[in-house]
Amino acid sequence: MRDKIMDRWSTYEPFYVLLGDKKIADIIITNHARSRWVDRVESEKTGFEDICSFLWENLKENKIKSYYRNEQDVYLIDEDLVMVAEFSQMDKETDIAGNPLHKMIIVTFLGRMSETIELRDLKSYYSWLRHSRRMTLIKNSRKRK
């Protein structure tokens, strides 16, 4: 979904917002991300347009930051909400200088750090998840034998 509101008159280039070194001109929400939004973020404004408008506003206000400095896929919105995003170049769309524009594909929303304390350190959170899943699988395999 592209940004619908443009404040400029007679513009010659597509609208984009900078996020790091990427020029974001479009946002795509996956179905998985939408279901995670309903489960972990908000249960009232759950449409794709609601989520996109929320993300556009935060992009414009420069409230979306990279979670880790060297990681390019986990982002923090307004110092609280953690999301995973991927980027792909847009076909046949460039800025005036000829640099490529990007689509931001929202993979999932992990939740709010204020509600889920484990999200403060993602590396330990993921290792804990892997360990707990592995232990569950081991327990289930013991039961089957």
CA 13 – CA 97 distance, rounded (Å): 10
pLDDT string in tens for the chain (145-residue length): 555 544 555 455 567 888 888 899 999 999 999 999 998 888 887 788 889 999 999 999 999 998 876 667 889 999 889 999 999 998 888 887 888 899 999 999 988 888 877 777 777 766 766 667 666 666 666 655 5
In this prediction the pTM is: 0.73
CA 23 – CA 103 distance, rounded (Å): 8
First to last CA, the chain: 50
The CA–CA distances, whole Å, from 97 to 7, 27, 86, 100 equal 21, 22, 24, 9
**The pLDDT of residue 105:** 94
- SS3 annotation, 23-41: EEEEEEECHHHHHHHHHHC
- The helix (run of H) or strand (run of E) holding residue 53 is helix 48-60
